[in-house]
Amino acid sequence: MPADTLRRRTFWWDRARPVDADVAPLRAVIFDADAALADVGRDGDLVPRAGLIDLVMNLFVAGIWVGVVSARERTWAETLVRQLVGEGLVATIVTADDLDGADSDVELYRLALWEFGITPQSALAVEGSARGLRAATAAGLPALLVTSDADSEFSRAAAVRSGYDGADPLLAAGCREVHRRWWIARKRLLSCGAASR
């Protein structure tokens, strides 16, 4: 065999690892009850955002936990979840009542992660406001923002959608893709920063 052939041959240990090799699988999607489940700020009966039920059912069937956080009291949040999503689909609800007097939206996400027994690398937040986006990202979570408003602050979001439904409805596979792309981009950014030092 010619020497050139031996030099060009590569083995598995010579190959670069796939970009997403270190990305943890998505295990939980955490919704902000105050903005992502329904448009709580509008007057009249609360109805789930279009496509929300399909998304939650699809996450449930895919084995991805569904959680809800709320800066309001537990009775309000539980009633809202029951009214909008139903019984048995949400694995945990974390509210202001669970924070022992601490006043931090960030802590809601941290407590939800603790209850699931996972790190931020295994979760995706679904938010509906700039305030919630700041809280989710401060807790280390990629956040998918569902809003019809345009704001430069939304550039911190892993993705921005006008809703859950439409021509390309958001389902478990879409959540997994948003989660994966965000962590890949973050790892690339961190490795570039480390390489430039």
Cα(10)–Cα(14) distance, rounded to whole angstroms?
6
Q: CA 37, CA 34: separation in Å to the nearest integer?
A: 7
Q: Identify the residue with better confidence: 181 or 18.
A: 181
Q: What is the pLDDT of residue 188?
A: 83
Reduce the secondary structure of the chain to three states and give it as a string: CCHHHHHHCCCHHHCCCCCCCCCCCCCEEEEECCCCCCCCCCCCCCCCCCCHHHHHHHHHHCCCEEEEEECCCHHHHHHHHHHHCCCCCCCEEEEHHHHCCCCCHHHHHHHHHHHHCCCHHHEEEEECCHHHHHHHHHCCCCEEEECCCCCHHHHHCCEEECCCCCCCCCCHHHHHHHHHHHHHHHHHHHHHHHHCC
Evaluate whether 138 touches 132 at the Cβ level (below 8 Å). Answer: no
The pLDDT mean for the chain works out to: 86
Q: How confident is the model at residue 123 (pLDDT cuts 50, 70, 90)?
A: very high
Query: pLDDT value at position 138?
Result: 95
pLDDT class of 23 with cuts at 50, 70, 90: confident
Q: Above pLDDT 70, what percent of the chain? A: 80
pLDDT tens digits, one per residue of 90-111: 999 999 999 877 668 999 999 9
Per-residue pLDDT averaged across 182-192, rounded? Answer: 83
Tell which residue, 123, 104, 128, 108, has the closest CA to residue 37: 128
pLDDT by residue (tens digit) across 48-67? 999 999 999 999 999 999 99
Dist. CA 49–CA 117, nearest whole Å:
28
State what percent of residues in the chain have pLDDT above 90. 61
Task: Report whether pLDDT(133) > 70.
Answer: yes
Q: Which residue has the higher pLDDT, 119 or 23?
A: 119
